Amino acid sequence: MARYTGSVCRLCRREGIKLYLKGSRCETAKCAIEKRAYPPGQHGQGRKKFSEYGIQLREKQKVKRIYGILEKQFRNYFFSADRKKGVTGENLLQNLELRMDNVVFRMGLASSRSTARQLVRHGHFTVNGKKMDIPSYALGLGDTIAMNPNKVKKAPVNNAIENIKGKTLPDWLSFSADSKQGIVQALPAREHVTMPIEEQLIVELYSR
């Protein structure tokens, strides 16, 4: 499966904002944006203006990088959202938010989406009692995400439980540290997406 293997800090610098791809490190002075707040490359400091198409393209790239997916998969998410009833841009964000790796991250069980993706791939979670190792799996209303009982004594799981203590979860999710399971108690709405995303620009890009 294709995946990005380069420096994720370059991605944040390219988009000009913190994408929080390295979890807590992004909150420290070691963050690349804090040191060099301009795009990477020898001409990075000279890039000033974008065309209308360029602005739309950058917004699409930013969202892809936030959720850690590549072009073909993102395009499929968009056309799936376009076929649904409702606002296409909001449908797109809802599809992305309901990814298994994103839900694990949003529950506070991983410091970043990439870490969540790795935990899912290694079989640390179950969905409705069945082992789930597909990061892109689309969760639905009422689905229960729990720690895999065969992995419950592993360090990553214990660390995840410690991470979640004291954290505030989005309204559409719940998690119990005692039972080691969470529930998708509502579908995510537009206001639940806290990153600075202008989804209408993406809709305009694909409408060209």
Give CATH for domain 1-48. Answer: 1.10.1050.10
Task: Enumerate the β-bridge partners of residue 138.
Answer: 99
Superfamily of domain 53-97+195-208: Ribosomal protein S4/S9, N-terminal domain (1.10.1050.10)
Cβ distance 36 to 17 under 8 Å?
no
4-26, pLDDT tens digit by residue? Answer: 656 666 665 666 666 656 565 65
Rounded Cα–Cα distance for residues 82 and 202 (Å) = 12
Q: Which two tokens stand for residue 22?
A: 């390295």
53-97+195-208 shares the fold of 1-48: yes
- CATH number of this structure's domain 99-184, picked from the four choices 1.10.540.10, 3.10.290.10, 3.40.50.10800, 3.30.1490.100: 3.10.290.10
CA quadruple 135, 100, 10, 46: dihedral sign: positive
141-180, pLDDT tens digit by residue? Answer: 999 999 888 876 666 666 666 766 667 889 999 988 788 8
pLDDT tier at 108, thresholds 50, 70, 90: confident
